Amino acid sequence: MEIYKLTAFEKNGEKILDESFQASNDDEAKELGAKLIEEKSLSEKTHRCTSPRGKLIIFRP
């Protein structure tokens, strides 16, 4: 399992979410990250999920 990082921001740049979670690969991380964003009602906010290698898995400007 690897640790992925999920962050979300307000329009003014304020960080409103900074969470880590584990997934076995990038595809699983994409699914889990999208689920977390929906659960926290942040789908309309700027958000991103990155892999331990710095790869952008999810991005919404």
Tell me the per-residue pLDDT of 12-22, one tens digit each, with 9 for 90 and over: 999 999 999 99
Number of domains in the chain: 1
Query: Strand ranges (DSSP E) for the chain?
Result: 2-9, 15-23, 46-50, 56-60
Distance between CA atoms of residues 9 and 5, nearest Å? 13
Distance between CA atoms of residues 30 and 40, nearest Å? 16
Structure tokens at 6: 């999920």
What is the SS3 assignment for 13?
coil
Q: What is the pLDDT of residue 50?
A: 98
| Domain around 35 | 2-60
Q: What is the pLDDT of residue 20?
A: 98
Distance between CA atoms of residues 40 and 27, nearest Å? 20
Q: What is the pLDDT of residue 8?
A: 98
pLDDT band at 41 (very low <50, low <70, confident <90, very high): very high
